[in-house]
Amino acid sequence: MFHRIDYEQWTSLVPFAAFFVTFGVFVYFVVRAVRLSRKEAEYMAQLPLQEKPEFKDSDQ
């Protein structure tokens, strides 16, 4: 469909390059997440539950 130009050579490799780069980064973060210390993971997980409002009153 298109003139056979050099671009086509490397665009056919793009899916593979994309896959390996992405997969590499994914593996890195998996390893990093697994190595996250238990203490830190627990602290982070508790963050939404730390709010203990002192009191509430009318805004008006």
DSSP assigned state of 35:
T
Q: How far is the CB of 31 from other proteins (least distance, A)?
A: 10
Query: How far is it, in rounded angstroms, from Cα 42 to Cα 34?
Result: 13
Question: How far, CA to CA in Å, does 54 sit from each of 51, 57?
Answer: 9, 10
Q: How far is the CB of 18 from other proteins (least distance, A)?
A: 6
DSSP assigned state of 36:
S
Segment 1-60, which members bind other proteins (CB under 8 A)? 1-3, 5, 7-8, 10-22, 24-26, 28-30, 32-36, 40-60
- Give the binding site for other proteins (CB under 8 A): 1-3, 5, 7-8, 10-22, 24-26, 28-30, 32-36, 40-60
